[in-house]
Amino acid sequence: MTPFPVANRLHQVGFDRAELTQILNLYGRMVAAGNWRDYAIDLGRDAAIFSAFRRATERPEYRIEKRPELRNKQGQWVLVGEGGAVLKRGHELGPVLAPVERKLMKLVAG
């Protein structure tokens, strides 16, 4: 009998329920506004990444990254734009998502 390989998941970074709820809430509203159509979640040793796509065949429009090793420095949350530029960093998820929230408000109002 071979044991299940649990050792690899001990060092894996992930989103907790509250974080994932906040991210998926924003994703759902962006889908309803017609801006996003697909997403991907990548859980690795260094980071957990949520990528949101306009279309499945493109680069992600936004990446929301959780990097716990930066928790005591510049904040564990990073919002990365389509071109790879860091748009916002922070210690809390809400303020990091603020630029996307503002874009959503413009889409709904306009």
Q: What is the pLDDT of residues 31-47, one digit of tens each?
A: 999 889 999 999 999 99
Distance (Å, rounded) from C-alpha 107 to C-alpha 5?
Answer: 46
Tell me: the pLDDT tens digits for 11-37?
789 999 999 999 999 999 999 998 899
Whether 63 shows a pLDDT value over 70: the answer reads yes
Q: What is the pLDDT of residues 47-57, one digit of tens each?
A: 999 999 987 67
For 41, what's the count of Cα atoms within 13 Å in the CB-facing half-sphere? 13
Query: Going along the chain, which residue ranges are E strands?
Result: 38-43, 48-53, 62-66, 77-81, 86-90
pTM of the full structure? 0.84
